[in-house]
Structure formats: structure tokens, C-alpha cells
Amino acid sequence: MTAIRLLLVDDDPLVRAGLALMMGGAGDIEIVGEGSDGDEVEALVDRTHPDVVLMDIRMPSVDGLTATERLRARADAPQVVVLTTFHADEQVLHALRAGAAGFVLKDTPPAEIVAAVRRVAAGDPVLSPAVTRQLMAHAAGTRADTRQARARDRLAALNDREREVAVAVGRGLANAEIATGLYMSVATVKTHVSRILAKLGLNNRVQIALLAYDAGLLEE
């Protein structure tokens, strides 16, 4: 089995050391590099070719949000998981919209952080339905109507079946659960998800979930 190549980016050397120790104990994860600021990320990625970047959201020169936006705009970009000390942080929400595959709290038990890296490497977002709802609720604001109209305009590109899959993704369901609920195979669900991402110009399932929420589909 090929090891998951992991890049660590955090401005606190003690945090990086702790993460390196934690991840080093997992036989299927290889730490290929470390960085201390967001301005180092692109060069480190070019040099180390990671599958996943575990990145602090708050750094002194270039923060994790900006680094994520820059990285995910590139072709063949690695997945990004942001680290934060807050359960519902506006910057975390922005990072998810920029293409991060999810986030983990810095006080998350080590085994769960390791599991998060594995999940993201396998293509699954690291957001439980409960956390997704919390972040989405945090995003609600005075421009909700405008945001909903724009989201519905974008989702108009989907056919009815793709729209059903998008709503199911937004509700935090796994592919197998969507397949059961919509009476299709898991392979067909994966195909629909890939088409949704391509049609809407999105990076991952988290962004599908956020768009479905913005459109008000999760309340219907």
C-alpha cells in the first residue's frame, strides 16, 4: 500500500512537532515536509508532492485561508485540511469555500486527526453533519437572500437527479447512504458527484454542501 504523503504547515514549532510525532506513528502516512507560514506552501508542494496538506488557519505572513485559495486554484492540487482552535470560525468557512476538504480542531484526539487525514486522502470531506450545520448557521447573515438567488442560479445547471444527489451530499450522507436512499448504485452516485463538481466548477463535496445550503435546498 502506498503511504499517504502529508505536508504539515503551522507557525508553532511545538504544534508541528506534536503533529509529526502523531502522524509518524501511523504506518500508512509519510510526512514529506513541514512549513511555518502560508507563503511557503506552494514551493513546498512543488518540492514534496503531498497528497494532503494539514494547514493552520492563522499564520503571521500568509494565513491558511489565502494559502488554501492559492493552492486549490492550481491543477492537480493536493487536498487541504485546515487546523483551527474554534468550532465555528468565519475564516474556517471561507477556507471551505476556497476548496479545503474540511477542518479539525487542534484539541482533537490524535486518532481522530490521523483518521481525518486518511479520509481526505480517500476523497471524503472531514465534516460531520453536526459541524456542517454549525458552520452553515454561522454563515447566515444580512445578504442571505442574495446568496440564495445566486446559489439557485448556479444549481440550475443540474438535472433533477444531480440535484437530488447534491441535496443528499449537503445533508452529510455518505455515498452508500445516498445510493440506498435514491435507489442507485454507489458507482452511479460517484458519477453524479463527479458531474456535479465539473458542472459547477467546485473542488469537493464540502463545497456542494455549502452551495446546497446557500440555495435553501436543505430546508425543503
> Is this prediction's pTM over 0.75?
no
Evaluate whether 26 touches 114 at the Cβ level (below 8 Å). Answer: yes
pLDDT of residue 181 exceeding 90 = yes
**Which residue type is seen at 28?**
D
Contacts of 10 (CB under 8 A, 6+ apart): 16, 19, 35, 36, 55, 56, 59, 83
How do residues 89-111 score in pLDDT, each as one tens digit?
A: 566 677 777 788 877 888 888 88
Where does the pLDDT of residue 129 fall: very low under 50, low under 70, confident under 90, or very high at 90 and above?
low
The pLDDT of residue 142 is 42
pLDDT of residue 51 exceeding 80 = yes
